[in-house]
Chain A
């Protein structure tokens, strides 16, 4: 009966393969026995979100190394400082893989704190798992409005407002400049289409109907034909809403086309300026508009953690990497966790959530004011509009055209 042996082998393999998936402590450690605070998170080392996820992860690990140098994070519930340990897995930008890994962090690694990976797609799968397992999810940059519901207390957005709020300042500027011929192209995903909807509704409220408003798949890598179609509508302002790869492809096509418009707007040069300088060249983003985010946007009043200049210096020294918004967002997440642990009366997840609500609005970090609404969505940070200027050496600076404090 060799076939039975094969089936037996399959059963053994099933057990062995599951055993190889990680060790499973039978019980979660009690508060008294906690030797370190484990922070579970995911990062994408490859795939579509790698360019954004990795700097964010670097920011978080930088925060952990900084806090460990001082003896660890102060945990009010334990009345002592405890070292921080980061448990992280590579989800390779796959939401399917991320599902098993978030579950792994909660059920097998029994982490104390759960932090989401970059963006809405990789955060989305964590939301129901965290809610079901009653684990507070520190959402770094997943700005999908649908994540935040009154019935779910287990989520907090640490950086950036929900994406639907982003274009408020952009619409204000377009209306203020009196542009009536506006062309918009957006990637058909949650993040960009919600911005398009907000922008169009605000423009329509000011009696401006875009002359061009089309969605394209997020995987679009050539904008030449689209630009040609847009230029035929003679727009004064061209707005492209996409992820970094879309923005890069759009700016490359714009450079190749030789077209000129009074105003060109893209989202990510304000967050990842060095990536854009190296990908499309300094001249391609010169005089274009964007949402400047830290470190291009600095806040004078910082009452918690390093300020932008200090972070820039320390981060470069520790990691050898230059600062961008996402590394700041990762560091900012660490600061929010630090404040939460230092003010929460217990390590119970709802207690952590209540602690976040208590200090909401009073915390000013290098990322701006941390303030959340009752659903956990970020409302303190704002995104102004700025005009990018670059020099021949690739140095990027920004002139704000709307108030950074609006």
Chain B
């Protein structure tokens, strides 16, 4: 009897691993082949960027409960870290992207004390931190480093195809990272912290260290995404890469799909970003209405996102 149960559990475990592995595979194949059937690469690229950002938000909010309204700060710093690496250090594009990600992680270390706050206080303070970063970057005193308000022009390093491939890789790596964290004891520890940090600490979980690791990982994802985004645009101003809408969209995509899962942000990005491009461009007023109603409905009736509809029936969703 016990043997049968163990065999069943083993089968279930292998099945789940397989399903988890299918997601990054689908993402890889989907976005690698899409340019051959759809000409507007910019839409595909931005969908990937938002998907990666949504996974970054998911990592932080879904696993620790910290809602980062100022997430765009890391994204913008990543873009500028990349631009500075190209303009001042004359790094090649790919290395500059890595530098952008690292710079975001360094900034995240500086802003680590924000994690002492929680709830709405954290959300607002992260927003303020993003504003600070944006104003520092666009300040005229920084003109020799960031080119201040004049923005960055990297047309000499403009490689739309390479940057597209880099975005696919970062998105797949991000998805794999979320899968690993979700299925590791570390992920379960994070979720315990999210539910009750005091109880988690009493159970021996290193609350501060765990939160800090996720905070840095999340910043690294946003930094890498921002760096590739900036590289792909090649001409951008501070308000292009520090645009608050980027944070809002990433958060909404995560909440819509379902936070704390791997599939949720992927599904949210595909559905809502697809909807945005199908309806939002021609009739933005209707889209905004639909968007608003969707958010209200989600908060009231489906706080776990559309994935929770399936989870409620006892089904496993990666």
The interface of chain A, by Cβ under 8 A from chain B, is 1-4, 6-7, 10-11, 13-14, 16-22, 24, 45-46, 89-90, 92, 94-97, 99-104, 107-108, 120-121, 124-125, 127-129, 131-132, 144, 146-147, 149, 151-152, 188-190, 192-194, 215, 217-218
Residue of B nearest to A24 (CB): B39
B155 contacts A90, CB within 8 Å? Answer: no
Please give, as numbers and ranges, the residues of chain B lying within 8 Å of A92 by CB-CB distance: 284
Chain A residue numbers with a CB within 8 Å of B26 are 7, 10-11
Is the contact region of chain A dominated by helix, strand, or loop, or is it mixed?
A: helix
Asked if B292 CB lies within 8 Å of chain A CBs, one says no
Sorting the interface of chain B by its residue count into under 10, 10 to 19, 20 to 34 or 35 or more gives: 35 or more
* Cβ–Cβ < 8 Å partners of A190 in chain B: 149-151, 237
Q: Which residues of B contact A127 (CB under 8 A)?
A: 155, 235
CB within 8 Å for A7 and B278 given contacts A14-B30, A100-B46, A108-B40? no
Asked if B46 and A125 sit within 8 Å, CB to CB, the answer is no
Point out the residues of chain A lying under 8 angstroms from B183, CB to CB.
none
Contact present for A128 and B23 (CB under 8 Å): no
- Ranked nearest first, the 3 interchain pairs of A and B with the lowest CB-CB distance are A17-B274, A20-B278, A103-B42
* Majority secondary structure of chain B interface residues (helix, strand, loop or mixed): helix
**B239 CB contacts on chain A under 8 angstroms:** 95, 121, 189, 218
For A124, what are the chain B residues with a Cβ–Cβ distance below 8 Å? 151, 235-237, 240
Q: A3-B315, A13-B267 are in contact. Are A21 and B277 (CB under 8 A)?
A: yes
Interface string of B1-34 (1 = CB under 8 A from A): 0000000000000010001001100100010001
Does B271 contact A13, Cβ atoms closer than 8 Å? yes
User: By the criterion CB–CB under 8 Å, are B240 and A188 in contact?
Assistant: no
A193 touches B155 (CB 8 A): no
- Which chain A positions have C-beta within 8 A of B23? 7
Chain B 40-68 near chain A by CB (<8 Å), digits 1 or 0: 11111010000000000000000000000
6 A–B contacts, CB within 8 A, in A order: A90-B281, A90-B284, A102-B42, A128-B233, A131-B158, A193-B150
- Please tell me which stretch of B135-143, B165-173, B195-203, B209-217 contacts chain A, meaning at least 4 of its Cβ atoms lie within 8 angstroms of it: B135-143
* Alpha-carbon distance A95/B234, docked complex (angstroms): 12
Nearest A-chain residue to B313, judged by Cβ: A2
Q: Are A3 and B316 in contact (CB under 8 A)?
A: yes
Interface centre among A45, A100, A215 (most CB of B within 10 A): A100
Complex CA distance for A101 and B277, rounded to whole angstroms: 9
